[in-house]
Amino acid sequence: MKPGAARPPSLPSPFADRLVVAADDGLELSLYRLREGKAGAPALLWGHANGFPAGGYAPMLRLLASRFRVYAYDARGHGGSGLPEDMPGFDRYAADLDRVCRAVRADASGARFFYASHSFCGVAGLRLAGVFGREPWEAFTAFEPPVSPPLDHAARALSVAASRELSAMALRRRPRWADPEAFRLALAGRDAYRGFDPEALTGHCRGSLHPAADGGWQLACPGPLEAHNYEAALDPSTFEGLARIARPVTFVASVDGGTAGNPSWAATVQADCARRVPKGKLATFSGAGHLVPFEDPRRCAALICGMLAES
């Protein structure tokens, strides 16, 4: 396999078609178009969390297909996209998202276009809009993007400490497993994953592993890359660029972390982010934490569909 080549898709072919999009450095990005969905409906692109492939969001994506022509993508180094040889910054992730958005708009033949994301890919979208001035969507819904504020902000120290703790955890991530089912059984016993929709957990485990050349299965997103992404998100210029975003952005935040024990420091900055974006607004939910798209797909889909009525 050539460096940066697309890898096995994280969403299975009976569920979605894969379109391979070339990044500007030649790395191949996996973009998926759900087979379900109405022709001529508005297009929606979904972006995933750090270390998670698109495949784990299948239950929510299926619900969204009743209102949208649904697309999802794997960021470089995740799921079915190519593995980078370097450690990319968020400028690179934003540029990749720009390429993916262009591919969606071309494939959707001029349909209205919206973006929604969970955590990591939300930072790429906010950076594309606020730093690079590219907003290809009509509106954007972001579930707890970890936008680290400037050095003089009250939440800066918490964002740094929590991100570095997550980075250290990623470096300890077990890189190899016997197969996706062994991975699923191991995660199912952990507090953070107990609230997952069963289909979401199965899809996450299938899309997160690739067969290793010497047998067994290995993480599609290596621990060092996941760790690097937590650190890269600490760049405060993404927060500073929020004031330059023209399109509507809904920032979604948990108010209590939920019973599954998935709170995130990112929830603490969403209100400030919403105030900084001229057409920003805050939406909150209770009874779930940072991993709510896996725990309550129906509630998340309803929030995303709200963009249609408001735009």
- Residue reference for tokens 């969507």: 137
For 254-302, write each residue's pLDDT tens digit: 998 887 778 899 999 999 999 999 999 999 999 999 999 999 999 999 9
pTM of the prediction? 0.97
Residue 311 confidence (pLDDT): 67
Give the pair of three-digit tokens for residue 129. 């809009």
Q: Of how many residues is the chain composed?
A: 311
Strand partners, 21: 29
For 112-126, write each residue's pLDDT tens digit: 999 999 999 999 999
* 38-47, 56-65, 168-177, 218-227, range with the lowest pLDDT: 38-47
Span 241-265, mean pLDDT? 91
From residue 197, how far is each of 61, 62, 265 by CA, in Å?
Answer: 13, 13, 23
For 41-87, write each residue's pLDDT tens digit: 999 999 999 999 999 999 999 999 999 999 999 999 999 999 999 99
Phi first, then psi, for residue 223 (nearest 5°) are -55, -45
- Residue reference for tokens 């297009």: 43
Residue 261 confidence (pLDDT): 72
Alpha-carbon distance of 271 to 264, in angstroms, equals 14
DSSP 13-54: TTTEEEEEEE-TTS-EEEEEEESSS-TTSPEEEEE--TT--G
Nearest to 68 by CA among 95, 106, 32, 36: 36
The domains of the chain are located at: 16-310
Alpha-carbon distance of 157 to 164, in angstroms, equals 11
Contact (Cβ atoms closer than 8 angstroms) between residue 30 and residue 48: no
How many whole angstroms from its chain centre is CA 77? 13
DSSP 169-237: HHHTS--EES-HHHHHHHHHTSGGGTTS-HHHHHHHHHHHEEE-TTSSEEESS-HHHHHHHHHHTT-TH
Alpha-carbon distance of 142 to 273, in angstroms, equals 11
Phi first, then psi, for residue 227 (nearest 5°) are -60, -45
16-310 CATH pick, 3.90.660.20, 2.60.40.1760, 3.40.50.1820, 3.90.1140.10: 3.40.50.1820
